[in-house]
Structure 1
Amino acid sequence: MTDTDIETAVATATGTATGTAVAPLPEQAGAAASGAAATERFRSKQSASGGAAADTQRVDTLVSEVLAAVHEVVRRHRVSYAEYDALKSWLIQVGLDGEWPLFLDVWVEHVVEEVANEDRRGSKGTIEGPYYVPGSPSFDGAAALPMRADEPGTPLLFQGRVTSVDGTPLPGARIEMWHADADGFYSRYAPGLPEWNLRGTVVADERGGFAIRTVEPAPYQIPTDGSCGRLIAAAGWHAWRPAHLHLKVSAPGHQLITTQLYFRGTRHVDDDIASAVKPELILAPAAARSGEGHEVTYDFVLDPA
C-alpha cells in the first residue's frame, strides 16, 4: 500500500475524502442518539460511584506506554502530516458524535475484561457493552421478561441454576438479563420501545434455580452513521455483533459476573466486531418441550468475593 492509499483510507475514516458517503441506519439506531444515551448512562454511573482515585505512578506508567506504542506506529509506518491531521479530525469527531463509549466498548473493553477476570474459577464473563440500564423490574424464580403483547421473535426459555464454585446452591441469586429485540434494537436506546422491553431481573429460588421466558434476539450492526462507522468503512471491516443475551449474575458473598451468551451456528458468532465471544459462552438451544420455540439450560458458577 502506498502513502497515497493510506492517506485515502484515513481520510475516508474521518469523512474528509471527497465523494465518501456512509449509508445511515434507521433513525432509531443512529449513532448520535445511541452515543448520547450511552454517554449519559456512563456519566451517571461514574457520578454514583464517585470515580476511581488515580494513582500517579500508575497513570504515568500506563499513559507513557500507550504514547510510546503510538510513537512506534508513527515511526514504523512513516505517518505523514496529512494522515496525522486526518486522525486528529477523526478523534475530535468521535467526541462530537458522543461515540467514545461505543468505540471503547467495541474495541478495547474485551481486553480489560480478560485481564480483570483472569483468576476466576467460575463462569466466564465478557464485556458489558454500552446498553446496560440498572434497576430493571424484578421477578421471583420463573418469569417472563417484560415485552410487548405482539413481541416478534422466536420464544426462548432460558433456565438453569446458580451455585458457588464448591457446588453450593445460591438461593436469592439475582439474574439480570437484557438484550436486543428481533429487529436488533434495545429498549431505552431506540424510540418507540416500552421502557423496560426485554429487560428484567429474576431472583433464584431456594435451589438457586431460575427460568426466564423471552424471545431470541437478532444480530445487529453497531451504529455506522457516525465516526466509528467511517472507520469501519475505511478499514473494510464489518459492523456486526452476533445475536446475544446480556447477563449480570450476583449473590451475597460472591463476585458479580457480567457476561453475554451467544447462539451456535448464527451469523457472526465467529467474527464478532467486539471480539467478545468465547467458546464457553455459546449456547445450543433445542426445541422447547412446550412446542413453542426453543429452550436451553445454562448454569452459572460464582467465585467467592
Structure 2
Amino acid sequence: MSASPAPRTQPAPPPTLTGVLTRHATGPGLQATPVPGLHLYRAGGASEPVHTVYTPSVCLVAQGRKLVQQGETSLTYGPEDLLLVSVSLPLTARILEASPEKPYLALHVDLDPALIAALAVEFPEAAPGGGSQSGLVVTALEPLVQDAVLRLVRLLDRPEHIPALAPLILRELCYLLLVGPEGGRLRAMVQAAGQTGRIARAVERLVREYDRPLRVEQLARDVHMSVSGFHHHFKAVTALSPLQFQKRVRLQEARRLLLGRAVDVTRAGARVGYDSPSQFSREYRRLFGASPREDVARWQANDLPRTPQTR
C-alpha cells in the first residue's frame, strides 16, 4: 500500500508595506531607521494641524489618510498615492484617518540631490521635462516605485544587508522617480542653471538663515535672477512670497522651541529673528490661531507632544 502524499504547505502571504511598518513603527511619532534617509511614522488617531518644513523627499502612507497644505493649495493622499516634495517647503499637515485599532502608518525617504543629478546626466533622454514648477505634488503610486520602497523597508528585517543593498535600492528608487510622470520636477530641481534649481538654492538658504534679515534684491542677485523674475518663480515653486516663506519658517521654528521648552515666550521671537515682541506675537497668532502663551498652555493642558511632527 503506497503512502499518502504529504500535504502541501501553503505559501506564506507576500509581505505588505502595512505589515512591515506595523512591526517596525512601534511607537507614536516619527522615528529614524538604520536605513539611510528612511523614516517611519505611526499615530493612533487624527491629529491637530502641524506646521513643519518638509525637505526633498517622497512620502507614502500604508494605512490612513493625510492632508497637506501649501499656501492656498490643499492635497489629500493615502495608500494609493505618493507625495513628492522636490524643494524644502513650510507646510501644514494633518492626519485625517487613524485609530488605535487601525493606526496611521507612513514613511518618507529623503531624496539626495547629488544622486538625482548624477542619474539625470546618465539618463538624459529618460527624464521628462516641462510641467508645473510647484515643489509639491500628489501623484498615483506606481507599482515599480511601491515595490522598490517595500524592498527598502524590508531591509529592516535583515539589517545585516543594509550597507550593501540600501544604496542600490535608493538609486533604483530615484531612477524610477526621475523617469516617472513627475520626473520633470526632479530634473528641474537639480539643474543649477534652470529657474527651479536657482529657486531651490534660494529656498535652502532661507531655511538655513531664517533668523537673518531678508534682502530679496541680494538673494535674487546671488542666484542670477531679476527681482521680478525671482518673485514670480519663487511663488510658482513654493506658493509663497519670499517674505511669507521666511515668516513661516521663523514661526515654525519658534513654535518648536516653545513647545520643546527650550526658550520662554519673551526670548522665542528674538531667537528666530524678530526685533519686535508685539510683531512676533501678532504674526504667531495669525498663523497658529493663538498667542504664543495661549498656544503653549493649550498643548500642555492637552498633554500633546512637545515637538509635533507628522509625515
Normalising by structure 1, we get a TM-score of: 0.24
Higher relative contact order (CA 8 A, sep 6+): 1
